Amino acid sequence: MSLTLPRTPSFFLAGKRAFVPGGSRGIGLGCATALAEAGAHVTIAARSDGQVAAAVDALRAAGFKADGLALDVTDLAATEAAVAAMGPLDILCNSAGLARHTPALETAAEDFDAVSNLNTRAAYFLAQYAARGMDRGGSIIQISSQMGHVGGPDRAVYCGTKHAVEGFTKAMAIEWGPRNIRVNTVCPTFVQTDLTAATFDDPDKLAWVESRIKLPRISTVEDVMGAVLFLASDASAMVTGTSILVDGGWTAD
């Protein structure tokens, strides 16, 4: 008697349309590259024309399908129009984010508003706008943070915004599951990018990070890319309303 072996679901994204806000550098560029490398046509967005153009040129030079636009996703009217103009999306990978770290007793209202407007408000409505057009299903991925699951010194506002993302992701997954729209988060630890250079250049902060990560190294952008590809692809067809912690074991204790 012969057995029919199961087949591993595909990680390929050929024919898929993906939108990556915040995709011009750092983790966002890594996300865009992972999706494009798997065959998706990727549109990246950021506020800087120059950064968008440089990222698109690099992706195209590597043989990938990519375009981009200058967009401030906190401008909800402009963002809604941009998403509608793209036509139906298969994948939204939102990596746009902001951090302004201060002790909680010293938080300024303008910093609270700036971080919340991008990390929570814009993320919420980006998901809404993308989901409206996903008539054939799709995958919505929010680049959250390990700080959406724990707390940290000087990070009350940032932690609050990321905890909010974790909460509305679960609620959206429940609402949109019947439409075959999956909604998940990827939660990295501290990742080596230009934006985190100041943290890693500070010996005390570096020691704190290294003391919490259980694996014997600092995380890189490449560590996030595989998780994003998994959630974007059919390999995660039964995964929704949850988070993938790419944190080196930070939240294990």
Determine whether 158 is an active site residue: yes
Q: Which of 158, 190, 230, 250 is catalytic?
A: 158
Cβ atoms < 10 Å from Cβ of 96: 25
The length of the chain in residues reads 253
CA 106 to chain centre: 28
Cβ atoms < 10 Å from Cβ of 236: 20
| Nearest of 27, 23, 22 to residue 194 by alpha carbon | 27
Alpha-carbon distance 253 to 246, whole Å?
Answer: 15
Alpha-carbon distance 115 to 213, whole Å?
Answer: 25
Whether 199 contacts 158, CB under 8 Å: no
Residue with tokens 């008697």: 1
Ordered alpha helix ranges (H), the chain: 26-37, 49-61, 76-86, 109-116, 123-132, 156-176, 197-201, 203-212, 221-232
Cβ atoms < 10 Å from Cβ of 11: 16
Active site residues: 158
